[in-house]
């Protein structure tokens, strides 16, 4: 059994952050998003993992290396153009050979892991497993259609009137028969938007009478591809996974409540921290308020400021912010400083959003 993880894409919905960083490396609860996918695969016991990358391969490779850190072997697979989720399967054929495989999108989070559909695949040996989740907005996803006996008969991408509450998240399992979908007179073709759709692979197998099982995934699923979704995923992971773990130095004037993690080398003085909140390594917090669901990365400074329900990335500073910062994502190497100058001064890239009080 092998696995592939998609870690390319353009990340357009998270610009400007993704102008300088692969979206799969954006931190959720101070962990790069891609590691949630990798850890799910490793938990299955799979040792050979292909990572599909684009021009940002170097940043992904810097994080993952050859996989030896986790006891697995990682192979990098280049996707020359972003031609859709099913195209990821196509470009991975040489790596996968005839092995059955798990395909995990690198920007999806499954709070309870992915063992149930994997074990179903091993036990019942279908040709493919379509994982499904209950979702209030499943019309934005691929939706399974069932017959009167509950048998999967079709998967429809973004239907106008879904017949049920299920949608397909970013986890797919196939055996080698799926590669037949890319050749012959019945081969799948790009959709109207110019992409190879993952639902077409399932529909190909169904039409050819291969066994395709739909398996519901329990727990929470998040696809943090947009600003609001990233903050929601950050809150969820802090709520579910964070444990109190204080390795930094805290002075006697600092008050801490709830689950709080503070990294080695960090210093907190005359401040209040309300968990769940996580602070990375070598970060300085002075005379500040860190509210719930704040994730502060390594090598940051928060001085004379207040922040909550936000993600602050590596080596950033917030100094003398006069009003509380909330529901924000602050990129790497960023400075937010209040000065006595009565005018505003900005250094802002494309596609940014700035809100100023009246």
Q: Is residue 200 part of a domain?
A: yes
Least confident of 11-15, 161-165, 248-252: 11-15
**Together in a domain, 51 and 130:** yes
Which pLDDT does position 12 carry in this prediction? 53
Count how many domains the chain has.
Answer: 2
103, 4 Cβ separation under 8 angstroms: yes
Q: Based on the domain organization, do 33 and 136 belong to the same domain? A: yes
Q: Which comes out higher in pLDDT, residue 6 or 332?
A: 6
Q: Do the domain assignments include residue 110?
A: yes
* pLDDT, average across residues 127-139: 93
Q: Are residues 281 and 142 in the same domain?
A: no
> How far is 322 from 303, CA to CA, in rounded Å?
11
Strand order in the sheet with 325-326: 255-257, 272-274, 289-290, 306-308, 325-326
Report if residue 351 sits inside a domain: no
pLDDT confidence of residue 332: 84
From 290-304, 305-319, 322-336, the region with the lowest mean pLDDT = 322-336
CATH number of the domain at 173, please: 3.90.550.10
Please indicate, yes or no, whether residues 287 and 251 belong to a single structural domain of this protein.
yes
> Does residue 127 surpass a pLDDT of 60?
yes
Same domain, 316 and 212: no
pLDDT reported for residue 347: 54
Same domain flag for 179 and 281: no
- Judge if 6 and 103 occupy the same domain: yes
65 plus 156 within the same structural domain: yes
When pLDDT is averaged across residues 210-221 and rounded to a whole number, the result is 94
Per-residue pLDDT for 240 more than 50?
yes
In a domain, 235, yes or no: no
**Last residue of some domain: 203, 227, 251?**
227
Q: What is the pTM of this model?
A: 0.89
Q: What is the mean pLDDT of the chain?
A: 90
Write out pLDDT tens, residues 107-124.
999 999 999 999 999 999
- CATH number of the domain that residue 293 is part of: 2.160.10.10
Say yes or no: 249 and 323 in one domain.
yes
CB 156 within 8 A of CB 240: no
Same domain as 263, residue 180: no
pLDDT of residue 11: 47
Q: Which domain holds residue 14?
A: 2-227
35-68: per-residue pLDDT in tens? 999 999 999 999 999 999 988 888 899 999 999 9
For residue 291, being part of any structural domain is answered with yes
Residues 179 and 260 in one domain: no
Alpha-carbon gap, residue 28 to 220, rounded angstroms: 15
Token pair, residue 58, equals 């170097």
pLDDT at residue 350 is higher than 70:
no
Model confidence at 192, in pLDDT bands (50, 70, 90)? confident
- % residues pLDDT > 70 (the chain): 90
Distance between CA atoms of 7 and 2, rounded to whole angstroms?
Answer: 16
Q: What would the pLDDT profile of 303-319 be if each residue is shown by its tens digit?
A: 999 999 999 989 999 99
Whether residue 281 is found in the same domain as residue 212: no
Let me know if residue 345 belongs to a domain. Answer: no
Instruction: Report the pLDDT averaged over residues 7-31.
Output: 68
Residue 341 pLDDT class (50, 70, 90 cuts): low
Q: How far apart are CA 166 and CA 157, in angstroms?
A: 12
- Of residues 98 and 82, which shows the higher confidence score? 98
Considering 122-131, 140-149, 157-166, 326-335, the range whose residues carry the highest mean pLDDT is 122-131
Residue 356 lies in a domain: no
349 domain-assigned = no
């Amino acid at each position: 059994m092998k696995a592939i993880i998609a870690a390319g894409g353009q990340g357009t919905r998270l610009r400007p952050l993704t102008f300088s960083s692969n979206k799969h490396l954006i931190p959720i609860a101070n962990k790069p998003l891609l590691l949630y996918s990798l850890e799910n695969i490793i938990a299955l016991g799979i040792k050979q993992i292909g990572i599909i990358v684009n021009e940002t391969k170097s940043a992904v490779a810097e994080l993952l290396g050859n996989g030896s850190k986790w006891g697995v072997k990682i192979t990098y697979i280049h996707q020359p153009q972003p031609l859709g989720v099913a195209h990821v399967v196509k470009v991975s054929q040489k790596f996968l050979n005839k092995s059955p495989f798990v395909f995990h999108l690198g920007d999806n989070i499954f709070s309870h892991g992915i063992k149930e559909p994997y074990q179903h695949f091993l036990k019942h040996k279908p040709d493919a497993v379509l994982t499904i989740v209950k979702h209030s907005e499943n019309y934005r996803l691929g939706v399974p259609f069932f017959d009167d006996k509950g048998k999967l008969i079709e998967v429809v991408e973004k239907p106008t009137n879904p017949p049920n509450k299920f949608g397909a998240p970013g986890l797919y399992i196939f055996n080698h028969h799926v590669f037949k979908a890319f050749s012959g007179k019945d081969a799948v073709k790009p959709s109207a938007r110019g992409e190879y759709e993952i639902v077409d692979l399932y529909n190909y197998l169904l039409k050819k009478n291969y066994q395709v099982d739909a398996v519901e995934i329990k727990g929470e699923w998040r696809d943090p591809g947009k600003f609001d979704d990233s903050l929601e995923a950050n809150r969820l992971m802090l709520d579910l996974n964070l444990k109190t773990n204080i390795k930094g130095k805290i002075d006697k004037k600092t008050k801490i409540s709830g689950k709080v993690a503070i990294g080695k080398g960090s210093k907190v003085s005359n401040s209040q921290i309300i968990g769940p909140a996580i602070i990375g390594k070598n970060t300085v917090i002075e005379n500040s308020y860190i509210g719930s669901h704040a994730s502060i990365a390594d090598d940051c400074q928060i001085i004379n400021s207040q922040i909550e329900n936000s993600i602050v990335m590596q080596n950033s500073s917030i100094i003398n912010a006069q009003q509380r910062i909330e529901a924000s994502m602050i990129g790497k190497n960023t400075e937010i400083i209040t000065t006595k100058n009565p005018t505003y001064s900005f250094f802002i890239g494309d596609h940014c959003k700035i809100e100023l009080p009246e």
